[in-house]
Amino acid sequence: MELGGFKMFNIVSSWNKRRRSRSLDQLNPWVYKPAELWQAKENHPPPPKKRSGTMVFTLKEMEAATNMFSDRNLVGKGGFGRVYRGVLKDGQIVAIKKMDLPTSKQADGEREFRVEIDILSRLDHPNLVTLIGYCADGKHRFVVYEFMPRGNLQDILNGIGEVRMDWPLRLRIALGAARALAYLHSSTAVGVPVVHRDFKSSNILLTQHYEAKISDFGLAKLLQQDQDLHTTTRVLGTFGYFDPEYALTGKLTLQSDVYAFGVVLLELLTGRRAIDLSQGPQEQNLIVGIHQVVGDRKKLRRVVDRDMPKASYTVESVSMFAALAARCVCFDSAGRPAMQDCVKELQFIMYANMKI
Ligand SMILES: Nc1ncnc2c1ncn2[C@@H]1O[C@H](COP(=O)(O)OP(=O)(O)OP(=O)(O)O)[C@@H](O)[C@H]1O
Ligand SMILES: [Mg+2]
């Protein structure tokens, strides 16, 4: 009886296996199928890393880590200040961001800075740059992150370095960034949704193996004078990535990040900068013209980044990607998808890129 049951189980399970593999073979991206099917591979993200808590550093420790902020350790400069490569006492290599705070913040900002950084350091996701600690010593403010050896996406797209990114790699980067934004927008980590406020390709950093991690999440808030989360008097962010609705009304929403995400998708697709003043008036802004390209394969082929090996993409995948980007940069914020929907669509677009 038991043997019979065992045999029966074997027959059923091998029939199931055959049925599964046959139906997978027959998958066609244009045929409806339940979400679980094409998400199957993506359902098990690696477990989040456990961290022992935020480290607090003194100015002396920051100086020692960067060899007195020597120019040899300078990695770059952005809207918040300079970034240095540093080595901590325990040998860990880190990126140290020396913050240039507005004068008003220097006077009273120490406690608030600590609170904000403590909140941000509770965010933990494989596609977020790990915040290791901070220093709030006198007037000095530093944020210490894990060091990302491949630099930022914008530099790679603009040909700084030798890397030519194929389409699957670009899709992986887009998906990683989408997951990180979806995580920030969900209230799972700190109880309230976190708006990035300065999402752009230079804030997508890459690991040794070109995994995407977002940096500078929540930092723009630290520079803001006005504490109201939803209406700000001063527009913060970067030219080329502004949500037009935010620029007009000062109303900051999660959808402002979605707009900026759409601009990054267009950069990945075309290899062009968000704003390129060296182009003619019609081509300076990357999002102008995207709506004409969507649905027109001929026009679409012309805008696809020539640096991308042709054999690495399917037309279906590229046109679905352009359509998603166009929805993200929709002028009306209500017409933009949520980040969680972008994650699902990108998984599907990846699937559509598998030639079958
Ligand atoms: N964790 C890090 N690891 C390695 N390099 C980093 C890290 N964080 C920043 N950088 C590099 O430092 C440089 C300056 O970064 P920074 O964030 O200050 O400027 P940005 O991203 O251009 O603008 P913003 O200030 O608006 O974020 C960039 O080239 C970036 O690649
Ligand atoms: Mg940055």
Give the model's pLDDT for residue 249. Answer: 81
What CATH architecture is 55-146?
Answer: 2-Layer Sandwich (3.30)
Relative to beta strand 131-137, strand 140-146 is antiparallel
The more confident residue out of 202 and 9 is 202
In this structure, which residue's CA is closest to atom 9 in ligand 1? Answer: 83
Residues 94, 140, 56, 97, Cα dihedral to 10°: -20
- CATH number of 150-354: 3.10.450.50, 1.10.510.10, 3.40.718.10, 2.40.30.10? 1.10.510.10
The structure's pTM equals: 0.82
Out of 215, 239, 241, 264, mutate this one to test ligand 1's pocket (max ligand atoms within 8 Å of CB): namely: 215
First to last CA, the chain: 44
Share of the chain above pLDDT 90, in %: 49
Residue 198 is a catalytic residue: yes
Residue 50 has φ and ψ, to the nearest 5°, of -90, 130
Q: What share of the chain is helix, strand, coil (3-state, %, to 5)?
A: 45, 15, 40
Average pLDDT over residues 220-246: 62
For residue 177, which of 348, 339, 35 has the smallest C-alpha distance? 339
CA–CA distance, 106 with 113 (Å, rounded to integer): 10
212: left (phi over 0), alpha (psi -120 to 50) or beta: beta
Which atom of ligand 1 is nearest to 146's Cα? 1
Residue 98 has φ and ψ, to the nearest 5°, of -90, 110
55-105 residue pLDDT tens? 999 999 999 999 999 999 999 998 888 999 999 999 999 999 998 876 666
Residue 328 has φ and ψ, to the nearest 5°, of -65, -35
Pocket around ligand 1: residues whose beta carbon is below 6 Å from it?
A: 75-80, 83, 95, 129, 145, 147-148, 151-152, 198, 202-203, 205, 215-216, 238
Question: Structure tokens of 55?
Answer: 């480290």
CA–CA distance, 299 with 292 (Å, rounded to integer): 8
Q: Is 98 annotated as a binding residue?
A: yes
- Residues 150, 181, 148: CA angle, nearest 5 degrees: 15
13-31 residue pLDDT tens? 444 444 334 343 344 444 4
At residue 213 the predicted structure's pLDDT band, cuts being 50, 70 and 90, is: very high
Ligand closest to Cα of 82 equals 1
Domain ranges of the chain: 55-146, 150-354
Query: If you write DSSP's letter for every residue of 73-94 in order, what string do you get?
Result: GEEEE-SSEEEEEEE-TTS-EE
